[in-house]
Amino acid sequence: MSNLEILEKFKPEAHNLLMILHALQDSHPENYLTEDAMESTARYLKMTKSSVYGVANYYTMFSVKPRGKFIIRVCVSPVCELLKINEVIQHLEEELGIKTGETTPCKRFTLETSECLGQCHEAPSMMINQEVFNHLDKPKIKAILEDYRKK
């Protein structure tokens, strides 16, 4: 779907900005908001480009830089910290060969951190795109990544 086709699913009203940015970002294989996407949005909503960019930059779920096909968001909030999320991050970094904040050279995975994902009763937790994973440990992480490498 082109950017314009996505835009036209929403009324051209400023309050739709976040919904539009979500839709545009989700439609991009590299999970980010391109310069072009933001420009078209500004034109469509009759807003300045800087206010669109300002919003895109403010919210942590949006990215203005290319990312991997799969965004891994690891929870670093208190309960996950208590239940050893640091080890989980270490395993992920080793398995993927990247540091937190980076994207694998094959453009498949981006490793990010997140605040509490609301899964605390099954911590430690992470998400990959829309999917939630709980009770993480080394073997589980290996299996999950194995799965996603095939997707």
Partner 1 sequence: MIKETRITLKNIGKINPESIEDYLEAGGCEGLKRAFTMDPVSIIDELLEAGLRGRGGAGFSTGMKQRFTSESCRQCPQRYVVVNADEGEPGTFKDRLIMEQDPHLYIEGTIIAAYAINATKGYIYLRGEYQESIDKTQKAIESAYARGFLGKNILNSGFDFDLEIKLGAGSYLCGEELTMLESLEGKRGTPRIKPPFPAEKGLFGLPTLVNNVETLATVPPIIFHGKEWYRKFGTERSAGTKIFAISGQVNKPGNYEVEMGVTLRQLINDLAGGMREGKKFKAALLGGAAGTFVDASLLDDRMTYDHLKEKGATLGSGAVIVMAEGDSVFDILHNCLRFFRHESCGKCVPCRVGTSLLERESLKLRNGHPDKKALLQQLVKESQIMANTSLCPLGQSPILPLESAARFFAEELTA
Return residues touching ligand FES (CB under 6 A): 75, 77-80, 116-120, 123, 125
Residue found under tokens 């314009």: 4
The size of the chain, in residues, is 151
Give the integer Cα–Cα distance in Å for 40 and 3. 8
Neighbour count for residue 69 (Cβ, 10 Å): 17
Restricting to residues 20-79, name those near partner 1 by CB under 8 A.
21-22, 45, 51, 54-55, 58-62, 73, 76-79
Cβ–Cβ under 8 Å, residues 74 and 114: yes
Instruction: List the single partner that 121 binds among partner 1, ligand FES, none, CB under 5 to 8 Å by kind.
Output: partner 1
Terminal-residue alpha carbon distance, the chain: 21
* 70-75: strand order across its sheet: 109-114, 70-75, 126-128, 131-133
Nearer to partner 1, 98 or 120 (CB): 120
Whole-number minimum distance, CB 89 to ligand FES, in Å? 12
Q: Which residue's CB is nearer to ligand FES, number 64 or number 116?
A: 116
Residue 123 as a binder of partner 1 (CB under 8 A): the answer is: yes
Three-state SS at 26: helix
Between residues 82 and 106, which has the closer beta carbon with respect to partner 1? Answer: 82
Kindly state the smallest distance separating residue 90's Cβ from ligand FES, in Å: 16
Residues that bind partner 1 (CB under 8 A): 13-19, 21-22, 45, 51, 54-55, 58-62, 73, 76-79, 81-83, 114-123, 127, 130-132
